[in-house]
Amino acid sequence: MTRNSRPWWRDAVIYQVYPRSFADADGDGIGDVNGLRDRLPYLRGLGIDAIWLSPWYVSPMADAGYDVADYRDIDPVFGTLAQAEAFLAEAHALDLRVIVDIVPNHCSDRHPAFAAALAAAPGAPQRDLFWFRPGRGAHGELPPNDWRSHFGGPAWTRVPDGEWYLHMFAPEQPDWNWDHPAVRADFETTLRFWLDRGVDGFRIDVADHLVKDPALPDVTALAPGSISPWRDQEGVHEIFRSWRAIADSYPQQAVFVGELWEPNADRFTRYLRPNELHTGFNFAFLSCPWDALSFRAVIDETLSTHAPIGAPATWVLSNHDVVRHVTRYGRADTSHSFAPDAMTHTADLALGTRRARAAALLSLALPGSAYVYQGEELGLPEVQNLPDEVLRDPRWIRSGRTDRGRDGCRVPLPWSGTAKPYGFSPGWATADPWLPQPDAWAALSADAQSGSRPSMLELYRRALHLRRTEPDLGDGTLTWLDTAGSAADGVLYFQRGDGFACLVNLSGHPVPLPPHGYLLLSSDPLQDLKVAPDSAVWLRLS
């Protein structure tokens, strides 16, 4: 199958937009749909294939839009449904596809269905759409089981009539009961609502959480090694098979991308069978430390588990939930962690930036599709010194102010100028950005980097242009080469197709260039015709 004839999603480069922090057109300090529309030429010029939008739906914003009150409308802070439809048309006119978030595990406590459930009496059918249960203890004063919220504290909140409801995240995010046919039917209506408007796919938030063990057993009562009763239950696959049938009935080749923090590779790939999800995020790659043997193992396992079911791999370095990889790669511990103190470890940003440049060439050279988180192409680091009083992530409050949460990777982007807000908001705006930007970001703005060949932005532009024009890149196979050293030596060296090769030097010393026809791209200058430590090159072998 030629590159032009295979489905677009098998080797697309997809750019994640976190709408609150991308571009503000109306001057209120919060990114919006019109700001995104204004920046579409920038995204087209970057060389991406598709845009993935974090939630833009009606929401009280208890968790930055992941608490949805209306799945079929746009929150006024972002704009209007008409503006969203105009954005879709304008993106398609630029040959950019659009993937939107869908949040099926939970909704907002302001969702009409949950408001009706709260207003109803215990045992009423309105409550069956969620997980309402009586409490334990003599007076029902204890939660129904010992499950813990991912944001800290119990996963249950008690309502005035004495019952408790389940929320695997914040109390403002009650979990839907996917055993109920009305829940399934309503989400299928939502899928069709957006597909009818031309959306090209959906990123599924916490895709493995939808179905729970109906017995709601205590976790502490389970045998060691048991699957958590709130995730990866067999019934979830039936849901995704029905969703896939809907997507396949539309002409735009709509794609599903699952957020799947599933450590078991075999269980992960069960979601990617031909009649379920198209792709899933490769968090093993994102979490991998800066170590050649570790990267080699993750890449090998990814490709070997995806190949039998014919699913393309995905490669991702950062997103809206994790410490930006410029910072992560500059720390003593370069792996990803959700531990509360992981947000505050010191980093050598010069080292982290060198490694991030090399990681960009690695991820874009691997077989399958790749993701770029907004600002990654600018080399933005994590903002680790946000004042306590500006933190918005519910993890901050739910953890008793011990986990600073994810706000550091969500700071509004710098576009231009030498003073804040660096073009994020219009020059006439009086409102500050919703999170403060660092003083040092003037040098990292898109305008400051544009046209500067050594910049991160121009590296991404050149790499994405080559990825489009090099016939061996994108989907396909990978062959490891050993003429430049092995992973045990700190070197990753592989060939794609008939004549493209990528070498990444993760060792502490320069590595000689292997025999080649010509150098296509280098993440950093060569040292006496050698690949510098923490850098990468793309080669045409003949």
70 among known catalytic residues: no
Residue 344 near residue 404, CB atoms below 8 Å: yes
Nearest to 19 by CA among 464, 412, 509, 414: 412
DSSP state of 312: P
99: enclosing H helix or E strand: strand 97-102
- The upper half-sphere exposure of residue 163, i.e. CA atoms within 13 Å in the direction of its Cβ, equals 16
Q: Which residues contact 381 (CB under 8 A, 6 or more apart)?
A: 324, 326, 327, 330, 347, 349, 352, 353
Residue 469 near residue 3, CB atoms below 8 Å: no
Q: State how far the alpha carbon of 10 is from the alpha carbons of 13, 313, 367, 473, in Å.
A: 9, 8, 9, 11
**Exposure class string for 485-508: b at 16+ Cβ within 10 A, else e:** bebebbbbbbbbbeebbbbbbbee
Q: Which of 11, 232, 259, 262 is catalytic?
A: 259
Residue 402 near residue 341, CB atoms below 8 Å: no
Q: Which of 200, 205, 208, 472 is catalytic?
A: 205
Q: How far apart are CA 455 and CA 496, in angstroms?
A: 26
C-alpha 96 chain-centroid distance: 18
262 among known catalytic residues: no
Number of C-beta neighbours around residue 29 at 10 A = 18
| Phi, psi (degrees; rounded to nearest 5) at 446 | -60, -40
Q: How far apart are CA 375 and CA 408, in angstroms?
A: 12
Q: Which residues are catalytic?
A: 205, 259
